[in-house]
Amino acid sequence: MFAQMKISKKLPALMVMIAIISAVITGMISYNIAANSLEDESKNKLLALEKSRQTALEYYLHSIESDLISLTNNDMVVDGLTAFEESWDELQDPEKRLKELYIEKNPNPLGEKEKLDRADDNSAYSASHGHYHPWFRELLQKKGYYDIFLVNHEGKVVYTVFKENDYATNALTGKWKDTGLGHVVQKVLNNFKKDEIAFEDFAPYAPSNGAPASFIAAPIFDQAGEKHGILVFQMPIDRIDKVLDVSEGMGETGETYLVGKDLLMRSDSRLSKEPTILKTKVDTLAVEKALKGENGIIQQKNYTGKESFAAYSPLTFHGVNWAIIAEKTIDESLKGLGEMATYITIAVIVLCVGVSLLGYFAIRGLLHEIIRSSKILIAASNGDLNMRVTNLTRKDEIGEMQQAVNQLLDRTEAFTREAGAALKYAARDEFFRIILPEGLNGSFARRAEIINDGLKAMEEKTRTFETNAASMGQNIREVVQTVLSTVTEMQASAQSMTETAQRTSTQSNDVADAAQTSAHNVENVAAATEEFSASINEVTSQVQRSAELSQTAVDRTKVADQTIHTLSEAADRINQVVSLINDIADQTNLLALNATIEAARAGEAGKGFAVVAGEVKSLSNQTAKATEEIVQQIKAMQAATHDAVDAINIVSKTIVEVEEAGGVISDAVQQQAAAVTEISASVQEGVKGVSTVAEIITDVAEGANSTSAAAEQITAASNDLQERAVGLNTALDEFLKAVTKEKDLDKLV
Task: Specify the 3-state DSSP secondary structure of 241.
Answer: helix
User: Alpha-carbon distance 373 to 399, whole Å?
Assistant: 10
Top-ranked range on mean pLDDT: pick from 27-41, 551-565, 674-688, 706-720: 27-41
pLDDT (average), residues 310-324:
96
pLDDT at 525: 46
197 and 65 Cβ atoms separated by less than 8 Å: yes
Domain closes at, from 241, 263, 282: 241
What is this structure's pTM? Answer: 0.48
- For 550-606, what is each residue's pLDDT tens digit? 566 556 657 656 765 665 676 576 667 557 666 766 776 776 677 677 667 766 665
Amino acid at 720: D
Note whether residue 685 is domain-resident.
yes
Mean pLDDT for the stretch of residues 329-354: 80
Task: Kindly report, residue by residue over 158-215, the tens digit of the pLDDT.
Answer: 999 999 999 999 999 999 999 999 999 999 999 999 999 999 999 999 999 999 999 9
Let me know if residue 277 belongs to a domain: no
CA-to-CA distance for 463 and 739, rounded, in angstroms? 11
Assign residue 553 the CATH number of its domain. 1.10.287.950
Choice between 601 and 535, residue whose per-residue pLDDT is larger: 601
Max avg pLDDT among 189-198, 237-246, 732-741: 189-198
Residue 336 falls within a domain, yes or no?
no
Pick the range with the lowest mean pLDDT from 365-374, 451-460, 698-707: 698-707
Structural domain that includes position 524: 502-737
pLDDT over 90 (residue 57)? yes
Q: Which stretches within 73-120 are classed as H helix? A: 75-90, 94-99
The answer on pLDDT for 647 being more than 60 is: no
| Confidence at 315, pLDDT banded by 50, 70, 90 | very high
**Domain containing 149 — which CATH number?**
3.30.450.20
Mean pLDDT across 353-378? 74
Question: How many of the other CB atoms lie within 10 Å of CB of 410?
Answer: 13
pLDDT band at 637 (very low <50, low <70, confident <90, very high): low
From 221, 241, 261, give the residue that closes a domain: 241
What are the residues whose beta carbons fall under 8 Å from the beta carbon of 483, sequence distance 6 or more? 721, 725
* Contact (Cβ atoms closer than 8 angstroms) between residue 322 and residue 48: no
- Decide: residue 585, CB within 10 A, 0-12 exposed, 13-18 middle, 19+ buried: buried
The bridge status of strand 320-329 relative to strand 307-317 is antiparallel
User: Would you place residue 84 in the very low, low, confident or very high pLDDT band (cuts 50, 70, 90)?
Assistant: very high
What would the mean pLDDT of 239-251 be, rounded to a whole number?
A: 84
What is the C-alpha end-to-end distance of the chain, expressed in Å?
Answer: 47
> What local confidence, expressed as pLDDT, does residue 598 receive?
65
Specify the range with the lowest mean pLDDT, choosing from 193-202, 284-293, 447-456, 685-694.
685-694
Tens of pLDDT, residue by residue over 104-138, are: 999 999 889 999 999 999 999 999 999 999 999 99
Q: For 109, which DSSP code?
A: P
Helix (H, G, I), strand (E, B) or coil at 123: coil
**The pLDDT value given to residue 381:** 78
Nearest Cα to 738, choosing from 729, 747, 730? Answer: 747
Question: Poorest-confidence range of 55-64, 249-258, 265-274?
Answer: 249-258
**What pLDDT, on the 0 to 100 scale, is given for residue 372?**
73
Give the pLDDT mean for 507-532: 56
Q: Considering 241, 266, 281, which residue would you say is the last residue of a domain? A: 241
Residue 282 is predicted with a pLDDT of: 96
Report the C-alpha gap between 64 and 206 in whole angstroms. Answer: 24
* Sheet with 211-221: strands ordered across: 157-160, 147-152, 227-234, 211-221, 198-205
Q: For residue 368, give the nearest of 357, 358, 360 by alpha carbon.
A: 360
Of 535, 503, 554, 534, give the one whose Cα is nearest residue 707. 503
Q: What is the mean pLDDT of the chain?
A: 77
Q: What is the total residue count of the chain?
A: 749
Question: Please, which residues have CB within 8 angstroms of residue 264's CB and are 6 or more apart in sequence?
Answer: 277, 278, 279, 280, 281, 282
Q: Kindly state whether residue 590 falls inside one of the protein's structural domains.
A: yes
Q: How many CB atoms neighbour CB 577 within 10 A? A: 12
594 within domain boundaries: yes
pLDDT for the residue 700:
47
How far is Cα 34 from Cα 345, in angstroms, rounded to an integer? 13
Residues whose CB is less than 8 angstroms from the CB of residue 69 and which lie 6 or more positions away in sequence, other chains included: 195, 197, 218
Bridge partners of residue 234, in order along the sequence: 147, 215
Residue 725 in domain: yes
Decide if 633 is inside a domain: yes
- Cβ distance 457 to 432 under 8 Å? no
Q: Is the pLDDT of residue 80 over 80?
A: yes
Flag whether 298 is in a domain: no
pLDDT score recorded for residue 331 = 87
Alpha helices in 191-293 (DSSP H): 237-244, 285-291
> Quick one: CA torsion of 502, 503, 504, 509, rounded to 10 degrees?
90
Name the residue among 327, 318, 330, 188 with its Cα closest to residue 267.
327
Per-residue confidence (pLDDT) for residue 99, from 0 to 100? 94
Q: How confident is the model at residue 643 (pLDDT cuts 50, 70, 90)?
A: low
Which region among 76-90, 134-148, 557-571 has the lowest average model confidence (pLDDT)?
Answer: 557-571
The pLDDT assigned to 507 comes to: 57
Q: What distance in Å separates the CA atoms of residue 490 and residue 129, rounded to the nearest whole number?
A: 157
260 pLDDT band, cuts 50/70/90, is: very high
Spacing of C-alpha 174 from chain mean position = 63
* pLDDT surpasses 50 at 458: yes
- Amino acid code (one letter) for 360: Y
Task: Specify the higher pLDDT residue, 654 or 331.
Answer: 331
**Is the model's pLDDT at 62 over the cut of 80?**
yes
> Considering its fold, how many domains does the chain have in total?
2
Element (H or E) spanning 459, and its range?
Answer: helix 443-602
Mean pLDDT on 369-393? 77
Which among 212, 229, 232 is positioned nearest to 220, based on CA atoms? 229
CA 625 – CA 637 distance, rounded (Å):
18
CA angle 402, 407, 411 (to 5 degrees): 150
Structure confidence at residue 328 (pLDDT): 92
- Whether residue 452 is predicted with pLDDT greater than 70 in this model: the reply is yes
Distance CA 453, CA 442 (A): 17
SS3 442: coil
Of 354, 355, 304, nearest to 325 (Cα)?
Answer: 304
